Amino acid sequence: MEKILNHNIDKYKEELLQSIIEVVNIPSVKGEAKEHAPFGENPKKALLKALDIAKDLGFKTKNIDNYIGYAEYGEGEDYIGVLGHLDVVDVGEGWKSPPFNAEIRNEKIYGRGVLDNKGPIMSSLFALYAIKQSNLNINKKIRIIFGTDEESGFSDIPYYLKHEKPPILGFTPDCKYPVVYGERGRANILLTIKYSDENYEEKTKEFFYFINEYILLSKSNGERLGIDYSDKEFGTMEMKNFKAGIKDSHLIFHMSLSYPATVNIDGILEKIKLKLTDNIKLKLLLNYNPIKFEKESFLVKSLQKAYEDITGLDGTPVTTTGGTYAKVMPNIVPFGPSFPGQKGIAHNPNEYMDIEDIVLNAKIFANAIYNLAK
């Protein structure tokens, strides 16, 4: 089975690379919402292109109001889901070649979104194509799901779940290898103090004394706030992404928290409130709870086996400090596409993927999908 799938991936390599180039060349940064284009015209164009490619490969496809769409293979009510995204972050400066005109140099494809996440989700589509062309027996329907709002708030997933039930198992190829069995929680909080012209100096001193004393002069684990939670699996609390400002007669301070699964957000906020003065207010702007799967679960073990069988590398499951669609789509874990040691590529100028890695990803994904669906 493994040889058959790998052979088909190699057979369709050029088609895979061309499909990646076609979707990378669409500048799918989130834009102004319009009728029939909830995240702007370009994310919609990327979705339509991906669905057209899937349709040409012989898959059933569905576009859910240009929020999200999928390619489908197999029969039955329950399905295995592979969920990636076609939207990308802004370009930034420092590119050696046009970011939306994918270029192959030194056996790498360069372009915004080639790693995050157009290359991996198109590799997943061709992984499913390899299964389809191999006529292998599977017992579950499979969907490759193309999201369009991962970079700006995950609002495509609640819309999907209003119209479709979630997968029973699956993965998102938008993180790293080996299989990730747990993600930290992520929260954005806002601290404010109201002032008037008469008491501006007094309130400023009070507010920034607190910010300096308990946040800026603290270690990044939040020890002065009493929130320095830590565990062996998920590591230590992190405070980051600080931003101060003034708005509507309020001094404001934003920060984000990345926290381990041993604590919940309510416990964290209660600890912080113990340090606040009566005038300083705390507001939770956003929270995604940690996720954690059993390392011995069928899902995790199946993906671990696919990774080890194809690469020969140690596939011991890991955790991540990042945040993926796994936060909002039930029953999926992060899996790929970056191999150990590959960091600092996504979201940066000259984003790239090695062609060898693109093909290797497709082989891993094909075996993983088959392990889950057989």
Sequence-distant (6+) residues with CB within 8 A of 331 are 81, 166, 167, 168, 169, 170, 299
Candidate list 150, 238, 351, 357, residue with the active-site label: 150
Question: For residues 252 and 246, is the Cβ–Cβ distance under 8 A?
Answer: yes
Burial of residue 152, with CB atoms counted within 10 A of its CB: 0-12 exposed, 13-18 middle, 19 or more buried: middle
Q: Bridge-partner residues for 104, per DSSP?
A: 109
Nearest to 319 by CA among 166, 185, 143: 185
Place of tokens 């802004």: 90
Specify whether 87 is catalytic: yes
If phi > 0 it is left, if psi is from -120 to 50 it is alpha, else beta; for residue 225 that is alpha
Measure the CA–CA gap between 338 and 353, rounded to whole angstroms. 9
The total number of residues written for the chain in this structure: 374
Sequence-distant (6+) residues with CB within 8 A of 190 are 252, 253, 254, 282, 283, 285
Nearest to 371 by CA among 292, 293, 294, 297: 297
CA 168 → CA 275, 327, 333, 368, distances in Å? 43, 15, 12, 15
Candidate list 14, 75, 78, 87, residue with the active-site label: 87
* CA 288 remoteness from chain centre: 13
Burial of residue 118, with CB atoms counted within 10 A of its CB: 0-12 exposed, 13-18 middle, 19 or more buried: buried
**H or E stretch including 353?**
strand 352-354
Question: For residues 163 and 70, is the Cβ–Cβ distance under 8 A?
Answer: no
**Per-residue buried b or exposed e for 285-322, using 16+ beta carbons within 10 Å of the residue's own CB:** eebbebbbbeeeeebbbbbbebbeebeeeebebbbbeb
Specify whether 22 is catalytic: no
Give the residue numbers annotated as catalytic, written as ranges: 87, 150
